[in-house]
Amino acid sequence: MNDERDELLKEIGAALSIEPSPAFAARVRAELTTAPAGLPWGRIAGALAAASLAVVLVSRMGLFEPAAPDRASPAAVPAPAVTAAAPLEIAVPPQARPRPASAEGAARQAPRRAQPRAAVISPDEIDAFWQIVAEVQVEGTPLPPQRWPIDDITGEIAGLPEIAAVHVRPVTIEPLPGAGASVDTSGGLNE
Amino acid sequence: MNEYADRLVSGLVSLEDDLAREFEMRLADSSALAVRVAFSVVRHREDAEDIAQQALVKAYQQFRRLRERDRFRAWLVRITWRLALDWRRDHQRRALREHAAAALTPPVGNAEVDALQADRASRLWAAIDELPDRLRLVLVLAAIEGHTMTEVAALMRLPEGTVKSRLFEARHRLAERLR
């Protein structure tokens, strides 16, 4: 029985024992010269992962947050001289005020507060960023000089007359006529 | 900077040269295997060579991760088998009927012997075609080039025990069909 089966394998092997034609290897080589090289998907995936990581890190560092008003340099915008005013307090309705949180509530809210804000960056900006980085690394290209609109008008500002201090007189609010008389606001219910 | 760039470029060129040399070695080493695997399915020499050629071109595109000889051959067998099955599905049985007997049994000059051999080959390959894929590929690989069980297991990336049991089942079914 085994001999019979081995004969079968030999028969199949003999039927399949063909050799490629002499021109086969040459045809494969010719095909390889015209076939497009395979994309290095591993490298592409690695580059994308690195770019994603960089974007996440940059967004966590807050570099893409909207710029807050620069409080440290008030001289940038000439402010009129005003008398000191009382701090502005905005009335907040009771239901909008943060409730004193219990321990459980604080635990529930903590992760929500810890979530970073999502940075929305357009693909064009990301491409431009990596293009600049690549050029700086490869070519040694210097970064483009920063040019601000204030540079264009600095000369014009210098020629303007100095702004005089503005004095604001305190406003006195007179009581309304007849405000001293008692006003019945009960709508006659007290009668 | 330029010197560094030159060294980098020459390093990359040398890497490409190494890859090309290695691929040439694999081409010489594995062409026959690919052609035979394809031939076992399509049973037409020129079609088998076309399929093997496609498989080798695909292998070249993946060659950076297929540099090990065993890995390359295993991958090549799989992709050739799949391409050949696709080809056969597209061309169906018409081409098989035309090619099978003539391709597998070279004539010996005696009309009676030739007819007997053609009939035997026709029955044998009809029986092989009826085997499920998992048994058929094991049988073909075991028959080609006198592969051992270990080699077939490496080519199919299967445990040797699995290969043995599949081969046993395939041979048993064939013997039953040809009795």
B-chain residues near A11 (CB < 8 A):
124
Answer whether A80's CB lies under 8 Å from A163's CB: yes
Q: Mind telling me how many Å the CA of B58 is from chain A's nearest CA?
A: 8
- Taking an 8 Å cut-off on Cβ atoms, the answer to whether A9 and B27 are in contact is no
What tens digit of pLDDT does each residue of A95-131 get? 544 454 455 555 555 555 555 566 677 888 888 888 8
Q: DSSP for A68-137, please give it.
A: PP--S-GGGSPPPP----PPP-----GGGSPPPP-HHHHHHHHHHHHSPPPP---HHHHHHHHHHHHHHH
Interface mutation vs chain B, best among A3, A12, A41, most B CBs within 10 Å: A12
Stretch A156-161: mean pLDDT = 73
Answer whether B57's CB lies under 8 Å from A31's CB: yes
What tens digit of pLDDT does each residue of A52-92 get? 888 877 777 665 555 555 554 444 444 444 444 444 444 44
The count of other CB atoms within 10 Å of the CB of residue A62 is 12
Stretch A150-163: mean pLDDT = 70
Residue A80 at interface with chain B, using a CB cutoff of 8 Å: no
Instruction: Tell me the CA distances in angstroms from B115 to A15, A69, A86, A173, B104, one per residue in order.
Output: 16, 96, 114, 124, 12
Residue A158, helix vs strand vs coil: helix
Residue pairs spanning A and B at CB distance below 8 A: 86
For chain A, the average pLDDT equals 66
Rg over alpha carbons for chain A, rounded to the nearest Å, is: 39
B-chain residues near A13 (CB < 8 A):
143-146
ipTM entry: 0.77
Chain-centroid distance, C-alpha A143 = 21
B-chain residues near A35 (CB < 8 A):
57, 60-61
B-chain residues near A21 (CB < 8 A):
45, 49
The long-range contacts involving B94-101, CB below 8 angstroms and separated by at least 24 positions, are B95/B42, B95/B44, B95/B47, B96/B42, B96/B43, B96/B129, B99/B42, B99/B43, B99/B44, B100/B43, B100/B125
- Taking an 8 Å cut-off on Cβ atoms, the answer to whether A25 and B1 are in contact is no
Closest chain B residue to A28, measured at CA: B53
Please give the pLDDT value at position A131.
Answer: 81
pLDDT in tens, chain B (179 residues): 566 666 666 665 566 677 788 888 888 889 999 999 999 999 889 999 999 999 999 988 888 878 788 889 999 999 999 999 999 888 876 555 555 555 555 666 677 777 888 888 888 888 998 999 999 999 999 998 888 899 999 999 999 999 999 999 999 998 888 88
Q: Mind telling me how many Å the CA of A107 is from chain B's nearest CA?
A: 49
Residue whose token pair is 């029955």: B123
